[in-house]
Amino acid sequence: KNYKMSEKEKYNTAFHEGGHTLVSLLTEGATPLHKVTILPRGPALGFTSMVRKNDDLNHTKRGLLAMMDVSMGGRVAEEIY
């Protein structure tokens, strides 16, 4: 509960969540961003929240590829950093 993040973990979390955010903003067909935080929330060190405009049961190929891109964006940002 009182876990203190090291400076390296703070930077890593910031870049990770920033990666999700940038990829989401730059990818056509991605779900719109709702909220992004680099502060620890529960078991997560950071959090990127996206909210769909409609409650769609079906997804387009473009939308599915966008979801994959956004999901991998955090890890890619860590690797670049």
**8 Å CB contact between 31 and 52:** yes
How far apart, in whole angstroms, are the C-alpha atoms of residue 10 and residue 23? Answer: 20
Residues 7, 17, 78, 79: which is the catalytic one?
17
Is 17 noted as a catalytic residue in this protein? Answer: yes
Residues in the chain: 81
Q: Supply the residues annotated as catalytic.
A: 17
